[in-house]
Structure 1
Amino acid sequence: MTEAAVIVPVVLAGGQGTRLWPMSRAARPKQFLPLTGPTSLYQQTLLRVGDGSRYTAPIVVTNSEYRFLVAEQAQETGIVPAAVLLEPVARNTAAAIAAAALHAKAAFGADAVIHVLASDHAVVVDENYWWSVDAAAAAARAGRLVTFGITPTAPETGYGYIEAGADLGGGVKAVARFVEKPDRDNAEKMLAAGGYYWNSGTFMLGVESFLAEVQALAPDTYAAAEAAVDAAKADLDFIRLDEKSFAAAPNISVDYAIFEKSKAVALVPVTFSWSDLGAWDAVWKVSGKDAAGNVVINGNATLSNTSNSLVVSEKAHIAVEGLTDVAIVASEDAIYVGKLSEAQRVGPMVKALRANAATQGLTEIHRTAYRPWGGYSSVLNGERFQVKRLFVKPGKKLSLQKHHHRAEHWVVVTGTAEVTVDGKVSMLTENESIYLPLGCVHRLANPGKILLELIEVQTGSYLGEDDIIRIEDEFGRA
């Protein structure tokens, strides 16, 4: 691949959207969930840019809380990112893309073109998709800042629109204007008029031309991103952008900061199937349906006299009788039931849950929490005790740690556990247990080749996750 042909994928994976609550939460948002197949949306995005004849290895931009999810799910696809940039604070897309472009310029050269992709969109890859990529790349190499416009199929009010201007050749059009998310009446008028496209939020940008526009149109964003990249530090396989510098960037999207101001913007209209999966009705639309128009995800449902509905369940079996146009979504600890056609109303409901101290946690964390070594599920909570299921991946180990306020009992259910307590190492197998007294220095490891599962019983005056003093940790958390 010649220097002129280099396309560097930039995958934005830091969003904390909760419109697909209760499945999508702050600790594990929708990009990391398998909503349209066996792999997550983030993994599907990585696989889409996995062709080495067209792309370099991707640059992933995410926040620090998701770094191990990003790395683990990338490893499962077999795709190794060229870099994972960690945003120390959320500053919307302008600063994130500017930082990625600066890194791409340093790593791949000034002639590089970046293909900016959201990690939480559902895309059907076909000949039209690849045609649009090639057309956009050619325009980007000619100095254009290219946005992809999706040919609308309905008067959607949840998307911004782009009005196309003059034909520039090669499948590329000028941009007449950007249109904010319209009401239903205006959306219908634009659909009838033609020449309007949904704003997909994906871009093809030559790093030199894009950075020149950022410097000219959003100098504060450019200065903050440049300083954050220059002062970035390596942390394991990640690159931490400098917090003080990055925090100085305005909290603004690349659309507002650059695209609505620049004279170099161009549009590639596309016809491939695309959805930002912004609500549960969007998930229903892109999923395979039965003869009655129903979608069941995870298979845990029995439907009778039910039509045009969506049922999602992590564990519980859902039985639905005599309903139409409903969305029923059951996580381990919360259930959402509403009209499928009014799924956009999940957003206000999540805001209400977040505003109540009793329900705030339901918007932030799942009952099952994932960690780089495996994870844990909450089984039972009571006064001064807590029961969890721990699972540790083969070859992984937890940090060497101690607790000030709790003691623990571990019972091995499956696999082999290597347990260190105050320097003494014990090997435990199925049905064996061990006691960890308050204040002991301990570590759990899985030396085997199968998943290690344990039941953990915690007892003590305080059982919060922040009662952990890490002494050594292979994931850089000590």
Structure 2
Amino acid sequence: MGVGELDIVETAEPSTDCTRLVQVILAGGSGTRLWPVSREQFPKQLIDVVGDKTLLQATMGRMKGFGGEWDLGTGPVIVCGAEHYFTTCEQARDSGVTARVVVEPSRRDTAPALTLAALTAQGDGTDAILVAMPADHAISDLDALHTAIEVAARYAQTGAIATLGVPPDQPDTGFGYIRLGDALHDGAHRIDRFVEKPAAELAAQYVEAGNYWWNSGMFVVRASVWLAMIERFQPAIHAACVEAFKSAKTVDGCLIPGTAEFERSPSDSIDYAVMEHLGRSDSPFTGVVVPLEAGWSDLGSWDAVWQAMEKDESGNASNGRVLFEGATATYARSQGGRLVACVGTTNLVVVETDDAVLVADRSRVQDIKGLVSRIKRDKSPEADAHRKVRRPWGFYDSIDHGDRFQVKRIVVNPGARLSLQMHHHRAEHWTVVCGTALVTRGEEQFLLGENESTYIPLGVRHRLENPGCVPLQIIEVQSGAYLGEDDIVRFDDKYGRCG
């Protein structure tokens, strides 16, 4: 059976001459299994897990060289969380990528994210083919990826939704699986059904059977077809996203859908919301799986990172300042800059950051997710943020803290400013160590130079700005009964964080 013989979508006009492709990067994950490097506020897609680029930047460059008759348009659509958009934009600029960034007001998983991307892609009046891929995977062979996308795009032209499946080389309980249906053209198959992550014995049976492929999480589908599918199978998601898109506003160059409207959307993945419905007899939609043999890894654990990296003669892999002495099959990472020395270790993961150290057996790395849940229940800050926290205006580094005090180093980028804000429970002391600060305190506004300081009393509106052309660095000493980051009332903010 050839491509042209596929069943097509009844609710959308198929178009075999649709050649506009839009890369959609789904960048809303939290990556808790790569803790302590990956945190809620700075997840793995924003980190250089393997190589010298972050996973997001590597994903941005994944369509480079894909051309021929296909029109890639002006750049990717990136869907990310509100807490990550400024770093996402910064990494796109650093990579020379012109991206349309869509900011989810709250997390609702991949099905609503792809729906927002489809609505965005249709904004120029064309019915583009979406090439949706997670931002936190690794692929070593881009030529093989492009070949698979080419095949998938041909099926998408006919109105099908195509996913890329990875023929497994071993049983793995960390992946979902796709059971293959009838063989089609170019190695593709109809999708029989999606299977959730199996237990070890069942995963071994899948691999032995030969008709199950790993689910890569990459999808190729026309925008109108996806919208028709989500409207049929998940009308609440469709309605909420359409209303949120209609009330969207542009802030700092990013599209932010309406918060109240978007939060009415159920939270669901592409697999659960749509793909698991394709095998039904009453479904007018066709699902196709195309083989992907391109050195793919979802980097879903430290063991997967170890497998994806180059190793020494003893099977060790490392990032940062690491020394091995008599170690075998060990992965070690120095994130905070301290020397990590592994002596006689076997099959271990050792990861160091400024505020946490992880030591784990490589066979037990899937348990890290449960560990992070315990840290969250204990309300420890290490689950959510690093000591150094990035903000749209720069970053702050929590240097020290104790009973009723906290010390931070704050760096404000040239021309940037913090929100006009106040605190109910703390006062602040600011000392400038580099650059010039423009300070708003109540009804006053004044400049501070190096070695000058000021005091912000509890309950007083204030703002910090950098009017200069070099980064502004200050030391902030907070004092009070409560020093949490949620003790902020914003009155004005150029980054749209009020309300």
User: Residue 28 of structure 2 contacts residue 109 of structure 2 at CA under 8 Å; is this kept in 1?
Assistant: no
Across the aligned residues of Structure 1 and Structure 2, the Cα RMSD in angstroms comes to 2.4
Deviations 1:299-319 (A, max 9, x none): 222221111111112222222
Q: Share of identical aligned residues, percent?
A: 37
* 1:47 aligned residue: 61
Q: Any idea what SS the aligned residue of 2:204 has?
A: helix
Q: 1:68 to 1:3 in 2, by over 3 A?
A: farther
User: Residue 251 of structure 2 contacts residue 495 of structure 2 at CA under 8 Å; is this kept in 1?
Assistant: no
The aligned runs of 1:48-447 (5 Å cut-off) are 48-49=62-63, 53=67, 54-56=71-73, 57-82=75-100, 84-110=101-127, 112-262=128-278, 263-297=285-319, 299-315=320-336, 316-357=338-379, 359=380, 361-413=381-433, 415-422=434-441, 423-429=444-450, 432-438=451-457, 442-447=462-467
Give the Cα separation in 1 of the matches to 2:26 and 2:246.
20
Which of 34, 37, 48 pairs up with 1:34?
A: 48
Give the Cα separation in 2 of the matches to 1:333 and 1:49.
37
- Which stretch shifts more, 210-219 or 322-331? 210-219
Runs of 5+ consecutive residues of structure 2 not aligned to the other structure? 1-15, 279-284
Letter matched to residue 265 of structure 2 = A
| Residue 169 of structure 1: how far off its partner (Å) | 1.4
Give the Cα separation in 2 of the matches to 1:52 and 1:401.
47
| Residue 116 of structure 1: how far off its partner (Å) | 0.7
User: Residue 17 of structure 2 contacts residue 157 of structure 2 at CA under 8 Å; is this kept in 1?
Assistant: no
| Residue 421 of structure 1: how far off its partner (Å) | 4.7
Q: 1:216 to 1:300 in 2, by over 3 A?
A: same
| Residue 427 of structure 1: how far off its partner (Å) | 4.7
Q: 1:399 to 1:52 in 2, by over 3 A?
A: farther
* 2:18 aligned residue: 4
| Residue 108 of structure 1: how far off its partner (Å) | 4.4
Q: Any idea what SS the aligned residue of 2:99 has?
A: coil
Give the Cα separation in 2 of the matches to 1:64 and 1:452.
25
Q: Any idea what SS the aligned residue of 2:438 has?
A: strand
* 1:452 aligned residue: 472
Q: 1:208 to 1:474 in 2, by over 3 A?
A: closer
User: Residue 166 of structure 1 contacts residue 174 of structure 1 at CA under 8 Å; is this kept in 2?
Assistant: yes
| Residue 394 of structure 1: how far off its partner (Å) | 3.2
Q: 1:3 to 1:86 in 2, by over 3 A?
A: farther
Give the Cα separation in 1 of the matches to 2:495 and 2:264.
28
User: Residue 63 of structure 2 contacts residue 146 of structure 2 at CA under 8 Å; is this kept in 1?
Assistant: no
- Which stretch shifts more, 319-328 or 264-273? 319-328
| Residue 238 of structure 1: how far off its partner (Å) | 2.3
Letter matched to residue 418 of structure 1 = A
- Which stretch shifts more, 397-406 or 57-66? 397-406
Q: TM-score, normalised by structure 1?
A: 0.91
| Residue 447 of structure 1: how far off its partner (Å) | 4.4
* 2:27 aligned residue: 13
Q: TM-score, normalised by structure 2?
A: 0.87
Give the Cα separation in 2 of the matches to 1:449 and 1:289.
44
| Residue 63 of structure 1: how far off its partner (Å) | 2.2
| Residue 75 of structure 1: how far off its partner (Å) | 1.7
Letter matched to residue 248 of structure 2 = A
* 2:281 aligned residue: none
| Residue 231 of structure 1: how far off its partner (Å) | 2.8
Deviations 1:59-108 (A, max 9, x none): 121222222222222222121213x2222332222222122212322334
Count how many residue pairs are aligned between Structure 1 and Structure 2.
Answer: 469
| Residue 377 of structure 1: how far off its partner (Å) | 1.0
Q: 1:51 to 1:392 in 2, by over 3 A?
A: farther
Letter matched to residue 53 of structure 2 = T
| Residue 180 of structure 1: how far off its partner (Å) | 2.1
Letter matched to residue 132 of structure 1 = A
Q: Any idea what SS the aligned residue of 2:32 has?
A: coil
